[in-house]
Amino acid sequence: SNKPRSPGRHFLQIPGPTPIPDPVLRAIDQPVIDHRGPAFQKLSKRVLEKVKAPFKTKNPVIIFPSSGTGGWEAALVNTLSPGDKVLMFETGQFASLWNTMAKSLGLKPEFIESDWRIGADPAQIKERLKADKNHEIKAVCVVHNETASGTTSPLQEIRQVLDELKHPALYFVDAVSSLASIDLRHDEWGIDVTIAGSQKGLMLPAGLGFNAISQKALEASKKSGFAKSYWSWADMLANNANGFFPYTPATNLLYGLDVALDLLEQEGYDRVFARHRRHGEATRRAVVAWGLEVLCKDPKYYSPVVTSVLLPPGHDADAFRAIALENFDISLGTGLGRVAGKVFRIGHLADTNDLTILGALSGVEMSLELAGIPHKKGGVQAAINYLAEQAKNPSHKL
């Protein structure tokens, strides 16, 4: 093309896929090996064990060569039967897509509708479960971090609701954009299937889909009435026991995962989570200083991973994003579904530091000016003030 080269690094500030750290890229860039041979067996056994860490589980984690959507389907078809009722909460576009999938598979989802401006509300979930006297609801499905709206759901509180009501439903959590960015404890919080993908907090390209499963989910899988083949846990677990896969695995992504897990371990998960919280707060302070509105309207549900920003009526968020890309080589997230054109999203997750965030916020502030969007100056300064103050606190360095 005639476009001149863009110097420096592209600012990939979408909420996943996220930039890949150099050591992970180098790990992926290795010769392909025989996936039925001893070198692969060694790699795969190590990775299948190590991958339990971000899920905080001692149970098996299944790795599909798939995107996160495959993880959704695998969770449903392995544990449930056609016609089963499931309870879902409309946190945003991804919860809506999961709901659509459940319907196309022949499940009967009960969808708690919402305006995309809060996370999954435990009180509303409680109300529905309480009314379900005959325990017809077989699973409760929650999106931990709704990437479209920038809301995070209180997983532990929802577990408590199930416990309090002694409701036997399985508990499924979509952690596609929260795993390794927001604390999640598969075992301790009684999650039955945690679904994740490789391209967000795990700092890898897309191409791995995960199901962490509980003993209860494993039991349910023995009675599940869905036809399944590619997604079958049974075949996977039988093969994984020897370090192999029932079909060709994404070998080079597993090389990458091996190193990405080391990087997370080296930083320490608590520090990783604190870093995400800090960057979420810095971003929201910038948005407030600009006089713009954060889509998430209740601080209880603020996301440490992504902030969706509402533009004033009459301003097209996608035109704004195009200006940012053209002038500053920064990709901001587009508004999805019902908020298309109305919001843009700032991803602040994965391999990110204070200066990356400040660079991204500078790109946004300058683009607001270029796009003629009414705003106040000082968003970047507000973020600087907050991050500088935080840097004085030695605890975040641990």
Q: Which residues contact 392 (CB under 8 A, 6 or more apart)?
A: none
**CB closer to ligand PLP out of 99 and 214:** 99
Q: Is 285 annotated as a binding residue?
A: no
Q: Which residue, 289 or 306, is less far from ligand PLP as judged by CB? A: 306
The DSSP annotation for 376-393 comes to -S-HHHHHHHHHHHHHT-
Rounded to 5 degrees, φ, ψ at 134 are -90, 10
Q: Which residues bind ligand PLP (CB under 6 A)?
A: 16, 67-69, 94, 143, 147, 174, 176-177, 197, 206
**Nearest-CA neighbor of 323 among 271, 372, 388?**
372
Which residue in the shown chain puts its C-beta closest to ligand PLP?
68
Whose tokens are 């080269």? That residue is: 5
Measured from the CB atom, the residue of 121 and 174 that comes closer to ligand PLP is: 174
Closer by beta carbon to ligand PLP, 159 or else 345: 345
CB of 176 to ligand PLP, least distance (A): 4
Query: Is 263 exposed, middle or buried, given 0-12, 13-18 or 19+ CB atoms closer than 10 A?
Result: middle
Amino acid at 249: P
Closest CB 228 distance from ligand PLP, rounded Å:
18
Pick 15 or 249: Cβ nearer ligand PLP: 15
Q: Which is nearer to ligand PLP, 103 or 222 (CB)?
A: 103
SS3 percent helix, strand, coil of the chain, rounded to 5, is 45, 15, 40
Residue 388: count of CB within 10 angstroms of its CB: 10
Cβ 280 to ligand PLP shortest distance, Å: 16
Q: Please state the closest distance from residue 303 (CB atom) to ligand PLP, in A.
A: 11
Task: Locate 112 and state its tokens.
Answer: 């708690």
Beta bridge pairs of residue 225: none
Shortest distance, position 272 Cβ to ligand PLP, whole Å? 18
Q: Which of 286, 314, 310 is nearest to 382 (CA)?
A: 286
End-to-end CA distance of the chain: 47
CB of 88 to ligand PLP, least distance (A): 12
At residue 259, what is the residue type? V
Sheet holding 170-174, edge to edge: 61-64, 209-213, 193-197, 170-174, 137-143, 85-89, 108-112
Q: Which residues are annotated as a binding site for substrate?
A: 345
Q: Which residues are annotated as a binding site?
A: 345
